[in-house]
Amino acid sequence: MPMEEGQAMTQRFALTFPGETGGHAEQDVVVVEATGGRGPGGHPVYADPSGIVQAEISDQGEVRMLATGGHQDPRTPLHAEPLP
């Protein structure tokens, strides 16, 4: 959902990731909070408390996962839900 002019930026999102491929594992949900930084696309960056999961989330709800280590291959979440 796009932000309207004057609307405050969402501070937290719940990112839902798929379970393991080929299995019946439950989906993983990770809560991320705004870091105050901007990603490569100019959108706000959000991170989990460990700082390992980082995502750039646009005002359109598009998510770009950001690698935080040299050998990471971050999975793309199925859904990004704004939280109060």
pLDDT digits (tens, 9 = 90+) for 15-58: 999 877 766 778 899 999 999 999 999 999 999 999 999 999 99
Span of 5-9, 29-33, 51-55, 80-84 with lowest mean pLDDT: 5-9
φ, ψ of residue 12 in degrees (nearest 5): -140, 145
CB contact set of 78 (below 8 Å; sequence gap of 6+)? 16, 17, 18, 27
Classify residue 4: in a domain, yes or no: no
Strand order in the sheet with 28-38: 63-66, 54-57, 44-47, 28-38, 12-17, 79-83
State the pTM of this model: 0.82
Classify residue 45: in a domain, yes or no: yes
Classify residue 3: in a domain, yes or no: no
> What is the pLDDT at residue 2?
45
Q: What is the chain's alpha carbon radius of gyration, rounded to the nearest angstrom?
A: 13
Number of domains in the chain: 1
Query: What average pLDDT score do residues 60-83 get?
Result: 89
Classify residue 21: in a domain, yes or no: yes
> What is the pLDDT at residue 9?
81
> What is the pLDDT at residue 3?
44
Classify residue 2: in a domain, yes or no: no
Classify residue 7: in a domain, yes or no: no
Which structural domain, as residue segments, surrounds residue 70?
12-83
